[in-house]
Each structure stands twice: as C-alpha cells, then as structure tokens.
Amino acid sequence: MAKNKTPLLDQLESGPWPSFVSDMKQQAEARAKNENNVEYQIPVDVVDDLLGVLELSYVDGETHWKHGGIVGVFGYGGGVIGRYCDQPEMFPGVAHFHTMRVAQPGGKFYKTDYLRQLCDLWDFRGSGLTNMHGSTGDIILLGTTTPQLEEIFFELTHKMDQDLGGSGSNLRTPADCIGQARCEWACYDTQDLCYQLTIDYQDELHRPAFPYKFKFKFDGCPNCCVASIARADMAFVGTWKDDIRIDQDAVKAYVEGDVKPNGNAHAGRDWGPFDIAKEVLDLCPTECMRYENGKLEINNRECVRCMHCINVMPRALRPGVHGGLSILVGAKAPILDGAQMGSLLIPFVEVNKESGYEEIKNVIEPIWDWWMEEGKNRERLGELMKRKGFQALLEAVGVDAMPQHVSEPRHNPYIFWKEEEVPGGFEMDINAFRKRHLR
C-alpha cells in the first residue's frame, strides 16, 4: 500500500495520455518490494515521498522545494542542481533531492545496453526517476542525496564513459536536431558539429568563467526542429548558397495527385486536391516561384530559403548542394529584459569538418571574449547586445555591417559617429565659433 495518500494525484491516472502518476506509483511499489534486492543508496521511499510532497502542493497550490544549496562534484561548476524539501520531516525520503544533468548523445540516439546501465546506476544511487530529457537536452536524473553525487559521477565516467552536462554560468549542454542521421533536409552534419564543439569546449562547459549561462543549439535547416533560434545564445541553422534542386517529374506527380503533399502530414482531413498555386506559390514569402506549362521555376536569387516549398513537396524539391549554416545570437527567455530570439550575425559560414570547424570557432571565441570582458554578472549575451548595440558585437567579431543584419534599417536618426569618422574630429574651438557667431 502506498505510503502517502494522494487522492488528487490519483485523478491523474485516468485518461488516455501516459500517466506520470501511474509510472511513479509503479516505481514506488517496485522499490518497496525490491525484488532484485538492490542496496538502495538513498531512501527506499523516495518516490513515495515525492508523490506525497507533490500531493501536498496540489492541496496548497504552492511548491514545497527550497532554494538549492551549492552542491556538486569536485572541480566542476555545474551539472548538479541542489534541492531540499521545505517539509523534510513529513517527507524524509526527499529531504535532499538533487538533480544531476547527464550530457545526452547527439540526436538522442541510444543503445539499450547503455540505457540499462544508466537505469541500474540510478536505481541504485538515486530515485530511479528521470526526465527524458530536460529542456536543454540533458538526461535528467531526478533526485539523489549529496553523498551520492561523487559516486555517481565516478561510475558515470569510469564505467559508462559518460560525463555530466552543464548548469551554472557555463556553456550548457549543446543540443542538435536529428539532422542528416535521418532527415533529408539537413544542410550540414549537426551531430558532428555539436559533438566536436562540445568536446572542444569541455572546459567552458564545466568550469564557470562566463557572466551567465550560454547555450549552443544546432539545427540542420531553417525548420528549426531543436528550436535553436528561440532557445540558444548561439543558434547554428543550416542553409544553402546555391539553387533548390528540382525534380520536375516529381513536381508533376504532386500536381497530378500521385504523391500526397507535405509528406502526407495533412492526411487527417480532406483538404481537396493539391493546388500548387495556392499551397506553394502563393505561400512563398518572396513570390519567387512560377509554375507554367508543367514546369516549376524558382528564382533562386530571390528565395530566402524558408523551406516552405520543400516542406510541401519533399520528393520534388531539395535544398541546394552547397550547404553551410547561419549563426544567430542572443536568444533567451524573458528574464530580465524580455525574451529574445536569435539575431542573424553570420549569414553563411562553411561547415568544414577538416578544419576542425575553425571558421565557426572564429566566430564563437571572439564573442565569448567580448561577453566575458563586457558582460555584467547574470547578463546574457542577448542582453549585452541590447545594452551595447549590435555594432559593438560586430566590432567584437570583426564583421562588417550588412543589410542582412536587419529586418529594416533604423527609423530613428540617433546615429552615433566615431570621432575618426567625422572630419575635424569632435573638438571644436568655441572662440573661433564665437567669431563667426556672436553671442
């Protein structure tokens, strides 16, 4: 029988969607039974008490977790989120309930042997509850006690070849979309770039040297399936430089109804026969497509590579072959100054595995230098950009201003000039002036 009564939570066991309450309950029960005789290193009733404290929150309408203290593993400035219950006597099983962030593999592909190893470890030394995955991308191991942190880290690194992810004023665990692994649209190898930068920047990831958190996300194309543009201080979004590849026969097949548009994504309703004008040409934001005499033409110079036409006709259209990526910077959540999406900094950069992605690092590192130099404590890159101006960012990275940087030029005329840009400089002689202009 369950340790704590949870009448409110129990109501969340009904309904078709997988119930986290049912799952927690089965886990609580299994722990209590302990059929495999695990020598649990943290309280056996940890899950029971988590259910209990959650039920209490459902009654109170308030959380029962206190501020996390500073806990972690030796030498790392992140990877663990400390957490303590504010009713430890009622719920001793979760009095300490720290989270560990485990760096997820690229594309979130797994082999089951690895997962089982992780499950065993977490059953043994933690609550047996996880988040698959956290919002940043990590595997979240939810709830353990302070003494277990080093033990878990030791087992992870020694037995599983696996490191922790980021938290604190660090580079956070980078994340990628599935990309070339299973997507026909990826303009570069998201997994490799993500992995390589993660490895090369391990120091930045584990040892807080930044003013605040910093996130990388890697999307293979502008569909942004890992939401990089919204959620990464630095978003790497695949794009291409040459022309969209067209298979005219396939275009015809779409027009004639032989292939369902949008990879059949609209199959749940009868939208009528495919209408290339309405569904593709008219929705192209730049109106750069024509369909005449059974032939699709794209004025690629005017195309902004938004993906819409490709999304709708995946068998007929493909991104160009000259792939690369755009870098957008500064995305962040609303605290303190309002949310930001990434702003376009580098329209196109080659993704060059052979060079060790040097071209890309040449953008990343000057930005970090600038941010570490100029950023205030707890100031995200986006906020620094706002405070100092986009121009300051450009100077830091050594990039010239170009119209691609803006959706529109400034409409206020409050232009700053550098003294060296203005003939004669800023020093003017008031006495000479007063000769021309009497008081």
Partner 1 sequence: MAFISSGYDPKSPMENRVTDIGPRKYDEFYPPVIAKNKGKWLYHEILEPGVLVHVSETGDEVYTVRVGGARLMSVMLIREICDIADKHCDGYVRWTTRNNIEFMVDSKDKVKPLIEDLESRKFDAGSYKFPVGGTGAGITNIVHTQGWIHCHTPATDASGPVKAAMDVLFDDFKDMRMPAQLRVSLACCLNMCGAVHCSDIAMLGYHRKPPMVDHEYLDKMCEIPLAIAACPTAAIKPKKVEIDGKTLNSVDVNNSRCMYCGNCYTMCPCLPLMDKEGDGVVLMVGGKVSNSRSAPKFSKVAVAFLPNTAPRWPETTDAIKKIVEVYAADARKYERLGEWAERIGWERFFEKCELEFTHHLIDDFRDPAYYTWRQTTNFKF
- Whole-number Å distance between alpha carbons of 96 and 292: 68
CB atoms within 10 A of CB 17: 7
List of residues 6+ apart from 422 with CB closer than 8 A: none
Cβ-count burial 52-68 (b if 16+ within 10 Å, e if not): bbbbbeeeeeeebeeee
Does residue number 333 form part of the binding site for ligand SRM (CB under 6 A)?
A: yes
Closest distance of CB 334 from ligand SF4, Å: 11
- Whole-number Å distance between alpha carbons of 145 and 161: 22
Closest distance of CB 426 from its own copies, Å: 16
Task: Work out the angle between the directed axes of helices 381-388 and 390-397 (0-180°, nearest 10).
Answer: 110
| Selected binder of partner 1 within 45, 49, 155, 379 (CB under 8 A) | 155
- Whole-number Å distance between alpha carbons of 28 and 48: 6
**Which listed option, ligand SF4, partner 1, its own copies, none, makes contact with residue 438 (CB within 5 to 8 Å by class)?**
its own copies
The alpha carbon of 437 is separated from its chain's Cα centroid by a whole number of angstroms, namely 60
- Whole-number Å distance between alpha carbons of 129 and 143: 7
Does residue number 86 form part of the binding site for its own copies (CB under 8 A)?
A: yes
Q: Segment 166-185, which members bind ligand SF4 (CB under 6 A)? A: 177-179, 183, 185
- Whole-number Å distance between alpha carbons of 417 and 336: 29
Q: Segment 301-330, which members bind its own copies (CB under 8 A)? A: none
Q: With residue 392 as reference, give the H or E element that holds it.
A: helix 390-397
Structure tokens at 291: 């369909």
Q: Segment 349-408, which members bind partner 1 (CB under 8 A)? A: 385-386, 389-391, 394, 400-408
Does residue number 285 form part of the binding site for ligand SF4 (CB under 6 A)?
A: yes
**Which listed option, its own copies, ligand SF4, ligand SRM, none, makes contact with residue 285 (CB within 5 to 8 Å by class)?**
ligand SF4
Structure tokens at 60: 């109170």
**Which listed option, ligand SRM, its own copies, ligand SF4, none, makes contact with residue 181 (CB within 5 to 8 Å by class)?**
none
| Selected binder of partner 1 within 4, 24, 52, 244 (CB under 8 A) | 24
Does residue number 350 form part of the binding site for its own copies (CB under 8 A)?
A: no
Q: Segment 162-201, which members bind partner 1 (CB under 8 A)? A: 162-163, 165, 173, 175, 177-178, 180-184, 186, 189, 191-192, 194-195, 198-199
Strands 216-219 and 234-240: parallel
Asked whether 169 and 212 are in contact (CB, 8 A), the reply is yes
The full 3-state SS of 246-313, as one line of letters, equals ECHHHHHHHHCCCCCHHHHCCCCCCCCCCCHHHHCHHHCCCCCEEEECCEEEECCCCCCCCCHHHHHC
Q: Which segment (56-64, 167-175, 224-232, 310-318) binds its own copies by CB under 8 A?
A: 56-64
Does residue number 224 form part of the binding site for ligand SF4 (CB under 6 A)?
A: yes
Does residue number 130 form part of the binding site for ligand SRM (CB under 6 A)?
A: no
| Selected binder of ligand SF4 within 264, 286, 391, 404 (CB under 6 A) | 286
- Torsion sign across C-alpha atoms 371, 135, 69, 161: negative
Closest distance of CB 136 from ligand SRM, Å: 3
Q: Segment 228-247, which members bind ligand SRM (CB under 6 A)? A: 231
Closest distance of CB 89 from its own copies, Å: 8
Q: With residue 99 as reference, give the H or E element that holds it.
A: strand 98-102
Distances (CA, A) of 288 to 78, 213, 223, 284, 324: 48, 40, 19, 7, 22
Does residue number 74 form part of the binding site for its own copies (CB under 8 A)?
A: no
Q: Which segment (27-35, 117-125, 145-153, 304-312) binds ligand SF4 by CB under 6 A?
A: 304-312
2 or 306: whose CB is closer to ligand SF4?
306
Asked whether 173 and 165 are in contact (CB, 8 A), the reply is yes
Can you give the binding site for ligand SF4, defined by CB under 6 A?
Answer: 177-179, 183, 185-186, 219-221, 223-225, 284-286, 288-289, 298, 303-310
Can you give the binding site for its own copies, defined by CB under 8 A?
Answer: 60, 62, 64, 66, 86-88, 334, 338-339, 411-414, 436-439
Can you give the binding site for ligand SRM, defined by CB under 6 A?
Answer: 81, 83, 99, 101, 131, 133-138, 140, 165, 173, 177-178, 183-185, 213, 215, 223-227, 231, 262-263, 265, 311, 332-333, 335, 380
